Amino acid sequence: MRPVALITGGSRNIGWAIAQRFAPTHRVVIGDLSPPSSALADDASWFECDVRDYAACERLVAAAVAAGPLSVLVHSAAITRPAVPVTEIRPGEWADVIGVNLTGAFHVARAAVDALKAAQGSAVLISSRAARVGYAALNPSPAGTKPHYCASKAGVISLTRSLAVELAPHGVRVNCVAPGSIEGDMIPRERWPEIAARVPLGRLGKPEEIAEACHYLCSPAASYVTGHVLDVNGGTWMN
């Protein structure tokens, strides 16, 4: 039976690239609000799942486990919101961003813990350079700094470390990938040249480059790596 790779937010862009990277060796299960943007491999599947809903995450994990041992979990589902001054962020808007990006990560991880332990699997939570810097670096706006998005992604790093320590005795590794500016729908295409000019490597990253980092962290090559945050940002932020 092929091991399963469960990818939240796997229907497009970075999550889709992650799903494609695991597809040759894993049965891919995608949990996303929307159906995949392209055709899935024969043994891959998509389940409608809103990660804000814990019961939906439990159903998603149950469906994944029914397909095989849960060897890989990647939580990529997230939302962002336009930069506005903090005084213009409505409490409900703050709650939406934290709800998907951070509480969603908790829901997915909590629902998957037993299955990961049973399979000696590995998890990656997708954070962001925004968490490291504390504001939306290279994507600045005089209007604001996206504190909800940045705080949610900083929370994801902290959650990763807590999970890594708690699950290490069970043989489960938990790591984080923090992308910089990546080609896709999150950054309007007309801004790519201006952003690329400020990246030491001279371009935006590609979804496949984030997928490769996730694949490494879940592979035997990273067998002694846990609780790590892997920055994949073209040199725009260095620890």
Q: Which residues are catalytic?
A: 149
Question: Over the Cα atoms of the chain, what is R_g?
Answer: 17
CB atoms within 10 A of CB 38: 9
Strand 45-48's sheet: what is its strand order? 45-48, 27-32, 4-8, 70-75, 122-126, 173-179, 229-232
Q: Which residue in 19, 29, 49, 72 binds ligand NAD (CB under 6 A)? A: 49
The answer to whether residues 33 and 16 touch, using CB atoms and an 8 Å cutoff, is no
Q: Which residue in 3, 47, 52, 117 binds ligand NAD (CB under 6 A)? A: 52
**How far is Cα 17 from Cα 205, in angstroms, rounded to an integer?**
12
CB nearer to ligand NAD: pick between 4 and 69: 4
Name the amino acid, one letter, at 162.
S
Q: Which residue in 4, 9, 60, 172 binds ligand NAD (CB under 6 A)? A: 9
The site map against ligand NAD for 160-189 (x = CB under 6 A) is -------------------x-xx-xxxx--
Q: How far is the CB of 234 from ligand NAD (least distance, A)?
A: 11
**How far is Cα 136 from Cα 24, in angstroms, rounded to an integer?**
35
CB nearer to ligand NAD: pick between 147 and 179: 179
Is 158 near ligand NAD (CB under 6 A)?
no
Is 33 near ligand NAD (CB under 6 A)?
yes
- Kindly give, in sequence order, each residue whose CB lies less than 8 Å from that of residue 100, ignoring residues fewer than 6 positions away: 51, 52, 77, 78, 79, 152
Identify which of 156, 15, 12 has the alpha carbon closest to the alpha carbon of residue 74: 15
**Residue found under tokens 């049973």:** 118
The answer to whether residues 121 and 70 touch, using CB atoms and an 8 Å cutoff, is yes
CB nearer to ligand NAD: pick between 14 and 119: 14
The site map against ligand NAD for 123-152 (x = CB under 6 A) is ---x-x------------------------
CB nearer to ligand NAD: pick between 61 and 126: 126
Binding residues for ligand NAD, per CB under 6 A?
Answer: 8-9, 11-15, 32-34, 49-52, 76-79, 100, 104, 126, 128, 179, 181-182, 184-187
